[in-house]
Amino acid sequence: MNQATVPRWSITELLEGCARAGYGGAGLWRHRLEGADLPQLANLAASAGVQISSLCRGGFFLVNEPGRTAERAADNRRAVDEACALGATALVLVCGPAPDRDLAAARRAVADAITELAAYAGTVGMPLAIEPMHPLYCADRSVVVTLDQALSMAKTAAGASGSVVGVMLDSYHLWWDPVLEASIAKAAGRILGLQLADWVVPLSDPLNGRGMPGDGSVDFRSFRRVVEQAGYAGLAEVEIFNPVIWEQNPVEVLEVAAARYKEHVARLA
Amino acid sequence: MNQATVPRWSITELLEGCARAGYGGAGLWRHRLEGADLPQLANLAASAGVQISSLCRGGFFLVNEPGRTAERAADNRRAVDEACALGATALVLVCGPAPDRDLAAARRAVADAITELAAYAGTVGMPLAIEPMHPLYCADRSVVVTLDQALSMAKTAAGASGSVVGVMLDSYHLWWDPVLEASIAKAAGRILGLQLADWVVPLSDPLNGRGMPGDGSVDFRSFRRVVEQAGYAGLAEVEIFNPVIWEQNPVEVLEVAAARYKEHVARLA
């Protein structure tokens, strides 16, 4: 379960709630870590049998103001350290909007920044997961919008740094891609995480209109099958930005998500 | 100028308004043709020196109800006939949402339907322009979401039918694509039209939040240059779905669009 689906819970509540509901992992967000004792959280997760499946997010490399680049790089190294302290599977990178209209230049700068961060992440053994985001967010969140593009950057950064750089696959961001199946096959060995949310029409909100699996257009069973065929055997996070779900009792949200997983995502018996 | 930008005008007003403002063409919409004398409109356009640069839209091939497929095919042949009667450069195809969660099957069905329609369009000499739409619309408008995908379908349909099948390039739908430049180069000889609208953030409305060139994130000058390098020397339509612009005086909208074209799109002197 990703923390963004049940923001009413503190991290401690999330870890305990996941354990009670039989979830094997929890995805966390940096802005909720403020002041937390990370080794203590890591111990709590370990004793609860809950893997920290991801930490969101590093990235947002591109800034308009001169001098901010170094500041962003330092913050990204802190994100790597936090992911390490938590024992997270990977640090998720959201690859920022372009500072101007030159998308190609922004993409080159992102690739360079990932390579630089990967060199640091490698020294502390933290895998980086580039998250391609839906082209809907190309202007304001991420210039990395397809899995092919993310894979190409991951390979370059891994090759140049010798570190582990892979991808985070989110159904909401990827489901529309006509070459998705082939791209996922190419991602074999680089899939560091899986996130699930459905695309619901009409789109109530570009950011927070995501749905529980089964509420929308995504064929989750095929998505999971292709990801498994590429050799991924890790956890799947349910990550849903939706104010209707945020208002619900988190215990019930975990129950519904588990039921939806069984109905729409899991391998048929 | 595309009719969707200035819906307050009738087609006659649009053709006369374009002529007065020095526009070389006008893009029309089928739902505004109801009851019109098409040969008379074609004559008016010709005598005003205004080319009908496109007719929107055929397509929406996929329907959930059995029996509706033949009805859609017949309506698409009528769309071809209307485009012919108007002397339009091309009939634009919007390639419909999937009737269920099987995107791959929907895409195969669309490709087959285009090939079938192309066979008819060839007999009357009307080029078909497949319009790839932004992945934002994959669930409710078009399963064709990238230029590469549209080109592949266009080649197949052209090869199978011997008819002219190409693509409509709309900046709003395509600007995010990491392989856009290479795809446009591959589209050489198949570009049947060009439409311009800007991507403005925050997105006020998924359908009607488009902006005048210069208001958003699109690098129009690069887009036009790459399209010209691919050999396209036809018209560019300004097609903007935006209720704020719809409320403005159409004469002024044409003035602003021409000024924006000069400032943000046209070749630098």
Nearest to B198, CA basis, from B261, B139, B252? B261
Q: Backbone phi, then psi, for B200, in 5-degree steps? A: -110, 130
Cβ of residue A263 closer than 8 Å to a chain B Cβ? no
- Distance from the B165 Cα atom to the nearest Cα atom in chain A, whole angstroms: 20
Cβ distance B219 to A107 less than 8 Å, yes or no, reads no
Tell me how far apart the alpha carbons of residues B95 and B73 are, in angstroms, rounded to a whole number.
13
Query: 3-class DSSP state for residue B90?
Result: coil
Nearest to B23, CA basis, from B237, B269, B262? B237
Cβ atoms A97, A140 nearer than 8 A: yes
Tell me how far apart the alpha carbons of residues A249 and A224 are, in angstroms, rounded to a whole number.
27
Asked if the model's pLDDT at residue A66 lies above 80, the reply is no
**Between residues A69 and A118, the one the model is more confident about:** A118
> First CA to last CA across chain B, in angstroms?
23
Tell me how far apart the alpha carbons of residues B62 and B99 are, in angstroms, rounded to a whole number.
6
User: Looking at residues A134-143, what average pLDDT do you find?
Assistant: 97
Q: Which amino acid is at B55?
A: L
Among the residue ranges A32-36, B170-174, B239-243, the one predicted with the least confidence is A32-36
DSSP letters of B229-242? HTT--S-EEE----
Cβ of residue B103 closer than 8 Å to a chain A Cβ? yes
Q: Sorting pLDDT into bands at 50, 70 and 90, what band is B61?
A: confident
Looking at the partner chain, which of B101, B136, B218 has a beta carbon nearest the beta carbon of A217? B101
Query: 3-class DSSP state for residue B59?
Result: strand
Looking at the partner chain, which of B135, B140, B199 has a beta carbon nearest the beta carbon of A139? B199
Asked if the model's pLDDT at residue B100 lies above 70, the reply is yes
User: Looking at residues B119-145, what average pLDDT do you find?
Assistant: 97
User: Looking at residues B153-173, what average pLDDT do you find?
Assistant: 97
How far does Cα B217 stand from its chain's mean position? 20
DSSP letters of B200-233? -SS-S-TTT-EE-TTSSS--HHHHHHHHHHTT--
- Distance from the B90 Cα atom to the nearest Cα atom in chain A, whole angstroms: 25
> First CA to last CA across chain A, in angstroms?
23
The predicted pLDDT at position B84 comes to 98
Cβ of residue A22 closer than 8 Å to a chain B Cβ? no
Query: 3-class DSSP state for residue B176?
Result: coil
Tokens coding A68: 């901010």
pTM value?
Answer: 0.97
Q: At what angle do helices A103-124 and A147-161 cross, to 10 degrees?
A: 50
Q: Indicate which of A174, A181, A203 best probes the interface with B, i.e. most B CBs within 10 Å of its own CB.
A: A203
The four Cα atoms B240, B243, B249, B254 give a dihedral, to 10 degrees, of -10
Q: Sorting pLDDT into bands at 50, 70 and 90, what band is A239?
A: very high
Tokens coding B180: 């856009």
Q: Sorting pLDDT into bands at 50, 70 and 90, what band is B2?
A: very high
Cβ of residue A185 closer than 8 Å to a chain B Cβ? no
Cβ of residue A252 closer than 8 Å to a chain B Cβ? no
Q: Sorting pLDDT into bands at 50, 70 and 90, what band is A63?
A: confident
Chain A residue whose CA is closest to B174: A135
Chain B residue whose CA is closest to A214: B101
Distances (CA, A) of B25 to A121, A209, B182, B194: 56, 39, 28, 12
Distances (CA, A) of B197 to B1, B50, B162, B178: 11, 21, 32, 19
ipTM: 0.96
Cβ atoms B121, B127 nearer than 8 A: yes
Asked if the model's pLDDT at residue A247 lies above 90, the reply is yes
Question: For B204-242, how does the pLDDT look when each residue is reduced to its tens digit (9 = 90+)?
Answer: 898 999 999 999 999 999 999 999 999 999 999 999 999
Cβ of residue B121 closer than 8 Å to a chain A Cβ? no
Cβ distance B138 to A203 less than 8 Å, yes or no, reads no
Total beta-carbon pairs less than 8 A apart between chain A and chain B: 72
The predicted pLDDT at position B64 comes to 67
Question: For B175-208, how does the pLDDT look when each residue is reduced to its tens digit (9 = 90+)?
Answer: 999 999 999 999 999 999 999 999 999 998 989 9
The b/e string for A83-92 (b: 16+ C-beta within 10 A; e otherwise) is: bbbbbbbbbb
Domain ranges of chain B: 3-265
Among the residue ranges A71-75, B67-71, B160-164, B255-259, the one predicted with the least confidence is B67-71
Cβ distance B135 to A140 less than 8 Å, yes or no, reads no
User: Looking at residues A14-37, what average pLDDT do you find?
Assistant: 97
Q: What percent of chain B has pLDDT over 90?
A: 93
Asked if the model's pLDDT at residue A269 lies above 80, the reply is no
Cβ atoms B2, B239 nearer than 8 A: yes
Cβ of residue A148 closer than 8 Å to a chain B Cβ? yes
Residues of A in Cβ contact (< 8 Å) with B101: 217-219
Cβ distance A134 to B134 less than 8 Å, yes or no, reads no
Tell me how far apart the alpha carbons of residues A130 and A112 are, in angstroms, rounded to a whole number.
13
Cβ distance B203 to A202 less than 8 Å, yes or no, reads no
Is the bond preceding B225 in cis, omega lying within 30 degrees of 0? no
Cβ distance A178 to B134 less than 8 Å, yes or no, reads no
Tell me how far apart the alpha carbons of residues A227 and A194 are, in angstroms, rounded to a whole number.
9
Cβ atoms B238, B261 nearer than 8 A: yes
Tell me how far apart the alpha carbons of residues B30 and B236 are, in angstroms, rounded to a whole number.
19
Cβ atoms B238, B210 nearer than 8 A: no
Q: Sorting pLDDT into bands at 50, 70 and 90, what band is B268?
A: confident
User: Looking at residues B86-92, what average pLDDT do you find?
Assistant: 98
User: Looking at residues B62-71, what average pLDDT do you find?
Assistant: 78
Cβ of residue B140 closer than 8 Å to a chain A Cβ? yes
Cβ of residue A202 closer than 8 Å to a chain B Cβ? yes
How far does Cα A267 stand from its chain's mean position? 22
Question: For A84-129, how does the pLDDT look when each residue is reduced to its tens digit (9 = 90+)?
Answer: 999 999 999 999 999 999 999 999 999 999 999 999 999 999 999 9
- Distance from the B198 Cα atom to the nearest Cα atom in chain A, whole angstroms: 11
Tell me how far apart the alpha carbons of residues B3 and B27 are, in angstroms, rounded to a whole number.
6
Domain topology for B3-265 = TIM Barrel (3.20.20)
Residues of A in Cβ contact (< 8 Å) with B177: 135, 145
Residue B54, H or E segment: strand B51-59
State the Rg of chain B over Cα.
18
Cβ distance A103 to B175 less than 8 Å, yes or no, reads yes
Tell me how far apart the alpha carbons of residues B22 and A202 are, in angstroms, rounded to a whole number.
39
Cβ of residue A149 closer than 8 Å to a chain B Cβ? yes
Beta bridge partners of residue B220, listed in sequence order = none
